[in-house]
Each structure stands twice: as C-alpha cells, then as structure tokens.
Structure 1
C-alpha cells in the first residue's frame, strides 16, 4: 500500500511526455533530495559544472547568472547574445549570455548545457561563498519541492511527485523567464504575485497594488519613510518614499494570513518572499506551470501586524556606512547619507563594507532604544534611535 504521508509526494507516478526540446537528455526517473544551507535568508545548494564544484543561490524570482571568474573556470562559451535584467531594486543592466556544459544539480539530475548570464564579481556573493544564482530557467524541465523544516529541496523528473494532483495547485504564469508568478487574494483584491526565494521576508507590496487594497478597506498605512529598498546586483536603489503598511488578510491556496505587515516599493510586482517556507511546503512544477502550497497548519495565521523596526537604516555606501532610510520620527534629526561611525558603542569604521555585519550589530541590541554616532562636517553627534 502506498504511503499517504507527505514524504510519498517526493516520488513520481504519472507519466509526462518529454516533447519539449531542452538540454536535459535524461530518460530515467529522478527523485533526488538536496540538502541546502540557509544563509542570510538565501537558499544555497552545491552544484557541479563541467567538473567544477561550486555553490549557487536558488532564486525563483531571478534568472541564472554566474560571476565571470567562475564562468571562465567552468569553460563557459559566449553565445553572442545579451540580456537586460532588472534586479530587486529595479535597476537594469545588460548582461552577456554564455553557455556552460554538464551541470549537475543533484546526484541524478544533470543538464547537458545551461545558459547563464555573466555577472561581475559581486561582494555579497563572495561573502555567501556562492558564484551566482540559479533561476527557474535552471529547473525548467523538473518539479522542485522546498521543505524548510528539513532544509531540503527535492527534484523530480520527468514525473510529478506521487499523489500530487494538478487540481491541488494553481496556474503559474512563468513565461519565458520561468518566474513563479501566481494569482493571489490580497485583502479581497486578486493580484499577480511573484514567489521569490531570492527575497527575504514574507510580503513586499508594490505601491500600486497596496493602493487597490487600501481602497478596498483592507489595508492601512502605519508609518512613512524616505530611503532605499535595499541592495541589488547593481548596488543601492534610488531613494524613494516607503510606507509601512498592514494588510488585514491575504490567502495563499486556501491558507489565510491576517494582519500581514509589509513595506511598499515601486517594484514591478508584489513579492512573497522566502519566509513563506516557514509556514508550509512549496512545490513548483515548471513543466506544467503549476504551483502548490501545503501549509504545516491549515488554521488561519495571525502575522501580528506591522513589526517594529529601527527608525533609521544603515548600509554600506560610498565606501563608508551611511543612513539610507529615515522614518518620519527622525526626519528632523538626521539626514539621508549621513555617515555613521558608531552603533550603540560599537565602532564600525573598521568594518568591511557588508550589510550582514551591520545587521548583526543592530540585531544584537537589547531593548527598543539605542544610539548611533553620526559624523558630519568633522563633528560627531550622538543620536538616539528607537524600534517603533
């Protein structure tokens, strides 16, 4: 008798025609488990490319790219094509396209070839020990399952996982980029939302989408800031107005989340980030364009509303640490771009230009009050900051 537990989902029984042309030439059934590392909100897996053992970030919202140093070691060959890509912050850059051979994503799942964008050497990649990102295009002829409790990914090929019915999932609008975009109910408004394992957090709302939610009476603004949304492949985003908001209710494949806090941005789409995996298993069937979410707990989950955050944000910029986001309560106290030299007694002037280093210092502060020291016009100014 077949095992009815979840783990039985990880073996395939339904035959699927392999009519589409793809570099993947395997014919045997594959059901491989990959143990991943979760580093700084990123899913990192080992990969072997043309005999070179490396690590990549699995980024369902991105497209496959490799830094040029490792692409050379892998024997990448240019295709003569290039691709304009916008990163998390909306900044666009034209990247050359190359092809690498013999890409082993798991013990039994190998691609004869894979196209990859060629990135410059990126500091955040080096700090994570990775050479690039694997987008949905790398898994285009497979079904992948994310299980955060076990910290595993499972690759199925060419069949769906056992007992997985097409009707259990929803249509995915991946297009040529293979992005995991689905329709989702946000406060009574249906929107197309990208599930993006490359994005930290639970929900990041497009400002236009939130406006519709607010007009529906299902969302409210709590606070406003001026600053950047974060760091993408092309560095810091341009500063803009950012709202801290609360969505009264959202539904993901029948699972309801209430009081969901978020920040708005001018991104191309609303994003559900990697934090979704804390609440259930996700299956992405790239071959059939189906998306599945199996919650660990089917009861409604109260997310607690807008979480407290420090009323200033600090990031590496211009070879120093600067204030890069200011909430309304601090707009007359500090200015965007002010240099920060000390955080609550920790001298940061000798720190490497690393966001995780600053996050570690800020995260270690006990209580909701602290101070920073700002250096402006050669003068040091001690400023109280708060979580609010």
Structure 2
C-alpha cells in the first residue's frame, strides 16, 4: 500500500507561526559532505547536540522537532509554546525548547536552535531517530541533496563552486525557512512546498485541484471517502478524496508528464522527496534560491495516477480499521470496519502503527488479495485489489 500522504503525521508539519530561533556559529568556510540513510522514504542524518549523538530526519517542509526524552538528555531549556497544523489540517499546541551546540557534519554548527518538543512517537522509534530537522536548522547554509551518491553537502557562507544565482528560482520570501517555490502547472503557476519529509512526488491539495482543474487539464480517475493518513492530532475527519492525473508540471524548466496524485486537505500542495530521484536539488537559504538539476534531459513521464489498494487500513480505537474506501468497495465495506486479517496475516499481535500495517499490505504478491473484517463478532472475507 503506497502511502498517499505524510506518514505518521509529524512529517511535513506546516507551522502557523515560525520562531526565529536559529543562530549559526560556523568555523570559517564550511563545505561538509554528510552521507545519509534513506529509510521509509526519509532522509536520516547523524548529528550531535550538546555532546549527545543522535539521528534526525531532514524535513525541509517542517520545523525542527525533538522527542521529549531526547530533548531532556540534550539539556534543552523551555521556550514557550507554538501552534502547528498537521496533514489533516488539525491544529495542535507543542511546547518549544532551545537546544544548544547542534553540529551537522564536521564544521556546520548552530549555537542555539528552537525545537518543538514531541511526545513519544512509534514512527520515530522505529527509525531510531529523535525528531526532524527543518529548514530552520540550515538557515545559514546552502544545502545540496544528491540521491545518486546519497549525500548532503552543506556550504557556508559561499555557494557551491560554479553555482550561479541565475541558475535558480526564487524561494518565496514570505515563508521564512520553508522551501516554497512556484512551479508551472499547465497554463498557470502553482505555489508548492518542496518537502523532503513527504513521500511521493506530488501531494495535491483539494483547494488547488478545485481552483485549477480547468487550466491544469487534470483528469479525475477515481474517488474515495476517508482519511489518508494519521496526523499529530489523530486521524481527523473523513473527507472526499480524488485520484487525479495532471498532464504537465514544470519544475525549474524540467517537465514532468502524467503526474499522478491524490487530493489532500492540507493548506497547500507539496512536491515530495521523490523529486530527488530525478535530479539534484540545492537550497540556498541565505540567498533564497532553489536549484533543480535533472539527471535526464527532456520530458519525464511519471505514469499517471498511482496504483493503490482500493481500501486503506490504519490503527484506530486500539485496533485496525478501514479508514479509506474507494468507489469500487463502497458497497462491500464501511469506514470504521475492524480488520483482523490481511491476506492470511493475523493482526492480533501486529504493532498498532501505520508502518506495520503498510508492510503487510506491501508484502501481498500481485495486485489482488483479501482482508477479513469483523462485524458483530462475525468474520467476513473481502477481496481487495490495486487500481488506478
């Protein structure tokens, strides 16, 4: 089951307010190369905070956040509260704290950085990370992502050699350290967030789809009702979902054709980490420029609407429930039905996490399988399939 949205709800958090907590303290000129792990579609790097070694997810679309236990070990100091919204547009308040002496690579150092403080999170634990590093952590640098060698390069204060300002496109200045840019969507421009914390290529907001359907030439290929991901405030309210194919999106001059996506209830649309499969990305936070250098010239066809299972399952109410129902299944299952077995795999002892249930779905061979739902203490087998 391909994730339609941002896994675990912490990734891709969009701040309603954004603190000015980053002050870089760098030794002379910096050009550090950091090898990263790429696990569950997440970029993971090692860092040191106040002498404590840890791993963080690099999330260019979010604000830095740290698990409570790790923040305590790092001797973080309280800094108030902030409000954020999650993938389901639900708001939540988080305590903020200051962490000190953050070191990324050998020489890039942030003297003090404000971080949200997260409660325990099974997704972070499963990845052996303590939180996310947002754009605020890189405010005084130029960051290069190169998926071919799985490295990040941090430059300060200069740009990488031979990189020209005219090669890039502007970061939208009203977003502080979030990497918002304009892309060409059909006959118009679309404001998007480049978010390494978000899975997939395009997460298309319902509002953008409704407003731009005519000029974008997008086609609806399927419909559903449900919840597309767990958020920081829970599962949220079920909504209508559309699966769409957009004929053309151009990013810094590179054209992507047949871009498939599902609509989301987020505040805006997102270009996710899958962009890195197609080219090198450089974000110059200091000069507010965004660069994309494609690996291949010419148009890239992304194959249209994604092939997804025609139901989605998430942990809810202490069990696993059907949380999204596509049109082909609306007469067979109901939102909230308990699922006790997936294609022969019992869920009785399965950890109550999105990753765990998705792994079971991903392990189903081919494009068809079955689930067993339990209603009124009676079990019923339901056939499921992948569809565009």
> Which TM bucket (shorter chain)?
over 0.9
Partner in structure 1 of residue 9 of structure 2: none
Larger radius of gyration: 1
Q: Helix, strand or coil: the match of 1:84?
A: strand
- Bigger drift between 67-76 and 115-124 goes to 115-124
The Cα shift of 1:22 comes to: 5.7
In structure 2, how many angstroms separate the alpha carbons of the residues matched to 1:362 and 1:129?
Answer: 23
Aligned to 1:318: 317
Q: What's the CA shift for 1:349?
A: 1.4
Separation in 1, partners of 2:216, 2:65: 41
The 1:176/1:242 distance shift into structure 2, 3 A limit, reads closer
Measured in 1, the distance between the counterparts of 2:169 and 2:216 equals 27
**Matching residue of 1:356:** 355
2:297 aligned with 1:298, yes or no?
yes
Q: Which runs of 4+ in 1 moved over 6 A?
A: none
**Root-mean-square deviation (Å):** 1.5
What are the within-5 Å matches in structure 2 for residues 1-388 of structure 1?
23-79=23-79, 81-175=80-174, 177-216=176-215, 218-388=217-387
SS of 2:24's equivalent? coil
C-alpha displacement of 1:260: 0.6
CA distance in 1, matches of 2:174, 2:65: 18
Q: Deviations over 1:210-263 (max 9, x none)?
A: 123321261111111001121222332321000000001110011101111100
Equivalent-residue separation in structure 2 for 1:59 and 1:218 (angstroms): 31
Give the drift of 1:367.
Answer: 1.9
Q: Which runs of 5+ in 1 are unaligned?
A: 1-19
1:105-146, CA deviations, whole angstroms, 9 ceiling, x for partnerless residues?
111111111111111111211111111111000100001001
Change (3 A) 1:71 1:21: closer
The two structures have a TM-score, normalised by structure 1, of 0.92
Per-residue deviation, 1:307? 2.2
Cα displacement string for residues 274-320 of structure 1 (whole angstroms, at most 9, x for unaligned residues): 00000001000000110000000011011111121110011111111
SS in 2 for 1:358: helix
How far apart are the structure 1 equivalents of 2:176 and 2:123?
Answer: 23
Q: Answer yes or no: is the 8 Å Cα contact 1:187–1:213 preserved in 2.
A: no
**In the superposition, relative to structure 1, how do residues 347 and 142 fare at CA in structure 2: closer, same or farther (>3 Å)?**
same
Instruction: State the distance in 1 between where 2:129 and 2:365 align.
Output: 32
Q: In 2 relative to 1, CA 238–188 (structure 1 residues): closer, same or farther, beyond 3 Å?
A: same
* TM-score, normalised via structure 2 length: 0.92
CA contact (8 A) 2:21 2:112 kept: no
Cα 1:342–1:30, aligned 2, differ >3 Å: closer, same or farther? same
Alpha-carbon deviation of 1:176? 5.5
Separation in 2, partners of 1:27, 1:43: 25
Mean Cα deviation higher: 151-160 or 24-33: 24-33
Structure 1 residue 383, shift from structure 2 partner: 0.3
Q: 2:7 matched to which residue of 1?
A: none
Check whether the contact 2:177–2:285 (CA below 8 A) recurs between aligned residues.
Answer: yes
